[in-house]
Structures are given as C-alpha cells and as structure tokens.
Chain A
Amino acid sequence: MITLKNIEKVYQTKTIETVALHNVNLHIPKGEFVSIMGPSGCGKSTLLNIMGLLDEPTNGLVEIDGTPIGRYRDKELSQLRNQKIGFVFQSYHLINDLSVLDNVELPLLYRSGVSAAETRRLALTALEKVGLSARTKHYPSQLSGGQRQRVAIARALIGQPEIILADEPTGNLDSVMGEEIMNILLQLNSVDGTTIVMVTHDENMAHKTERLIRFFDGQQVSDAKTATHEFQKV
C-alpha cells in the first residue's frame, strides 16, 4: 500500500541544518493498522506528512500502491490525497463556521462527479458510522472533544479512502473518549479493511494496533508486530 525507501528529510535554514528523518525504509501493506511512537521531535509527524503526500522527502522514494509519486505535480498529488487518503488530526481541524454536516462533506467538494445529493447521503452515512447522526446541524463549538474527533473521523471516511493517517487522534482526549475513538478506528480497520497509520504517545493505544514502529532522532529504531509480540530489531 505505502512504501518508503531511503527516506531522508532535512530542514535547512541559513545557519542550521536539521535532519528530521534519516534513512527510513517502511512498507505498510493494505489493511494493516500501524502505530508509530517516539519522543516529541523525533520525526513522527514529518513521516506522516510524507506518507500523506503533504510534504516531500529531501531524498528517497515514496510509493503508493506500487506507483512512485516523486514526479507527481501538485494537482495529481491533491487528487491522490483526495481519493486514497483520509486524515485525522490531534486538534481535529474542523472549520468552526461550518456545521458538522458541512465539515464532513468537505473532501467531496474537491472530487469531481459527485452530486450534492450523493455528498449529503455519504456524509450522513459517515456520521452514522461514528454515532453522530443526531448532531448534523451542530457547530464544532457545540460539541465535546470526543464528538469533534468523531466528526473528523467521519470527514476522513466520507471519501472512502484506502488509508487513514491519524496524527495523535486521542492526544487531546481523556481516556474514556480516547478509548471510544480508538474503538472506531479499530472497527474501521477490521470491518472495512482500511489501512491505518497512527502516530501516538499512548503505549496502551499503540498496543491495540497490529504493528508498532518506534522512532528516535529521525531514525526507525524498532518495528514490531504487537498482536503476536514478535519483536524485530531494525
């Protein structure tokens, strides 16, 4: 599904050169639920941005479904993001001036050939999936943190993406709400077969996923199958 080969990301200013990722090699097969852990500043979010085609590596190759996307232009990358990838962020990233329903419909605004009625139907289905069909006309400010994150998940789902990239989706939530969100993600993975890559600081959450990759100082330090507890040193 997603393959990263020799990925390197360097942020350069006039005086400082910061290596965010160094020689990262990863393959995430279709239908896998992977968590990525590591201390702050170790390059987790940068890695997620590169996987989500929001950022380009300084060196290395990114392949989606076996196709290298290095030569893709902005328009093609945007289309690929729209069709294949759904994002869930720690701070939800909802537009406060739009209702829950309008927020969820957002990705389909950028997809051609989907009618307004079909968009509405898909948005309602996505909201039903996350248990928020009674809150369609509410605005984000009228929702709790957990509800906002469920809206964000519904928004990631509406385009029926093959991959969901979640950047600390439970980071701003208490344990109960975090649990709820995690259950929704687990269900999406097991029932719909959606590939999920989740960045987290929470060991408990990480151990609920199939595979755990640890990062330190921009480098992959471990890659383990959590369910079977097979530990593989990189």
Chain B
Amino acid sequence: MIRHLFKLIWNRKKSNFLLITEIFFCFLVLFAVLSLVVHNVRNYSKPLGFEHENVWLLTMRPASDSTELNRQNLEQVLQRTKAFQEVESVALTTSNAPFAFSQMNNNLAYGQKEIMANEYLVQDDFKEVMQVQVSQGRWFGRQDDASHHQPIVINRALQQQLFEGEDPLGKLIPRNDSLNYQVVGIVEHYRPSSEYTAEEPGFFVRIDLPKNENAFYGELLIRVKRGTGVAFEEKMVKELSGITKDWTLEVSTLEKMRQNKSKLAIVPLIALAVVCSFLIFNVALGLFGVLWYNISRRNGEIGLRRAMGASSGQIYRQFIGEVLVLATFSLLLGVAFAVQFPLLQVFEVESAVYFIALGMAVSIIYLLVMGCAFYPSRQAAAIHPAIALHEE
C-alpha cells in the first residue's frame, strides 16, 4: 500500500506541486525558528559559571581629568565600600562586567594557533564576589605579586580551542614583546553576556592596583549580605558621593541587568514565534482547504475503492497516508537543505542544535498535516460507496 501511495502522489506531482512547496517552506521557517529556540534553551540550561544574586554593580564616572585625584578617590571608595557591614566582598572590574552591554576581546596565540577571546580584567576578590569555581589550578592572588608574568585564569572553552588536548597550566602566552600571560587556573564555565548566549572563549586578567598606579577602573562589583535592600543602596551612594564629590555614581543589581539582557534575547524570539505561528496557521488552513477540496473531487475514486474491497477504515488510512507521503516529499527536500547547516557549521552553532530542531520540525510538520487531514479523511471514509460511485 505504501508503494501504491508513493506512486499515486508521484504521478500527481504536478497537481500536488503547490502543496509540496507550501509544506517545504513551512518546514524551513519552522526549522529556523526551532533552531533559534533550541539554541537558546540549551544555553539557558547550561551553568553561567557564577552567582549573580546579591551582587550589585557600582558604576563610577569621574568628572575630573586628574588621574591622581581620581585614583585617590577610587581607593577611598574601595576601602569605604569594603567597610560597610552589609557588604561581603568587592572587586573592581571593567565595563564588561556580567550582564553589561559591553565586550572586550583580545587575540591570544599559542604555538600555531591564534584565537579571539573575551578579556575580563578583575581583582583577586572577584572570585569571592562572583563565586566563580576554579576546576583546575588556582585563582590568582598575592603569590602572583612577584611573578614576572601576568597570571591569567582561562575558561574551558578557551582551553579547548587554544590548547586542544594539552594541559594549559603554567603555559605562557605572549601578551606583548616584553610580557607574557601565564595560565594559572581554569574555570569550567563563564558566560557573563547573557543566559541565552553560548559559551565563548575567555580569560581573566588580574588587576594589580599597586603595580598600575595611574590605572582607573570604573566598575565595582559588590556582594552584599542576603536581604540587603534599597535603604542600604541609598546610604552607600550618599556616603560614597561624599568621597567622590562630583562623580556620577550609579548602582544596579546584576539581577536587574540579567532581566534586561534576557528581554533582549526573548523578545525577538517571541516575535518570530508569533510570525511562525501565523504562518503555520495559514498553511494549516490552506492544507485543510485543499485536502477537503481534493477529497470531495475524488468521490468516484472512493466509491471505486470501496467496491474493490476497501473498508471505510482503509479509505481513512489511505487519505492520511497520502498526506503523509506528500509531506515526506516536501520534507525530503527540506531536510536535504536543512542538513547543510550542521554539515557546514553555519553560524558556528553546535550541530546538535540543528539536529534537534530538524527532528522537531519534521515531527511538527507530520503532526500538522495529519491534523489537517484528519477531518477530511474521516469524511471520505464515511461516504456511502453507492453514493460515491453514483457521483462519478
């Protein structure tokens, strides 16, 4: 029977061409949207590599150009913030703090390999503030004060891409002609950009304030005690303003920043999903109409098949089967196109994402066409054979 259905659909390919094309495009749109959804969901389910709750970001923007004065104020701010009872730990960083709309990257070369990686400048206490877990080696600290090299902690993605199978601990990576980075530790995950962003290669560089007398860092990450709220924020800003005078100080929680970043990822996804749903709905309506029309046009054939010995159940299954075969023709084309994405590594997305989306899109298309064919096929099966034959 399956061979018969394939033959029937193949011989009717001209009249089924539009339907096959419609299902093909529906599959492609569905595949694209589902790839995006699967990509985001998979990223969301992976660990961020840090704890952002109860962490605030104090952004400081000095009004004066005096490097000396600004640096003096910065150190006072650091001392004062650490001294608050509500504060557990603080660490200076740069504008690419977690969930910030800013990125910093740099080329790293090791052997013949060179890759672009995110660079995070952080103080020693960043590990405590963000509760970063070092899985191999160590975090940097006082023991690195006397080091000739600049200690860095890298993430696993960087290790895999730059060092491949090699153990990176202790390895030197040239920073410039006179200075090398030295890998002292590895963290499994660090995804500060957003929960929906894939892991990218990155490394932490130690901020050593005494060694960089003129350097200024405008972002301070503050881990506060659980339950600390707006009242302390006001008090802290007031006190720090007393030190910094005309600086602009702004406090925001990492949770709020996370929500903003999430919206940025989710809103386009929702918009796409809505457009896709409308498209699917239209395709479903079209399919339903065409199937209904086709079946009513084929009453004579239904009567004939009943006369030849087909039961009403077999008629029902035949029409459902025909639609599935029709969808299979479209899906063969669609899958041949879609499978190029994982094979060619388009958009550098994991192959698994594309394969999952492919499987889901195929299943949804089959369910959709079966859903659309259900009622017309039932109607076809219910046609009285004598009446159907008479209509021819």
Contact = CB atoms under 8 A, between A and B. Distances in A.
Interface of A: 45-46, 49, 52, 54-55, 74-75, 78-79, 81-83, 87, 89, 91, 93, 95, 97-98, 102, 106-107, 109-111, 116, 155, 159
Contacts of B385: 49, 54-55
Contacts of B301: 93, 95
Contact of B12 (A75, A89, A97, A109): A97
A87 B307 contact: yes
A107 B389 contact: no
A159 B309 CA distance: 10
Interface in B270-316: 300-301, 303-314
Listed from nearest, the 7 A-B pairs whose CB atoms lie closest are: A82-B309, A78-B311, A55-B386, A110-B309, A97-B11, A49-B386, A107-B308
25 contacts: A45-B390, A46-B386, A54-B389, A55-B384, A55-B385, A74-B311, A75-B311, A75-B313, A78-B314, A82-B308, A83-B309, A87-B307, A87-B308, A89-B392, A95-B8, A95-B301, A98-B8, A102-B4, A107-B308, A107-B309, A110-B305, A110-B308, A110-B310, A116-B3, A155-B308
Nearest to A167: B389
Interface residues of B, number: 27
B7 interface: yes
Contacts of A98: 7-8, 11
- Interface SS of A by simple majority: helix
Contacts of A91: 392
A93 B309 contact: no
Identify which of A75, A81, A111 gathers the most chain B CB atoms within 10 Å of its CB. A81
A146 to B, nearest CB: 19
Nearest to A107: B308
Given A97-B8, A98-B8, A109-B4, A89 B305 contact: no
B219 to A, nearest CB: 71
A149 to B, nearest CB: 14
A81 B303 CA distance: 13
Given A54-B389, A97-B11, 7 more contacts: A46-B386, A49-B389, A78-B310, A89-B389, A93-B301, A98-B11, A111-B309
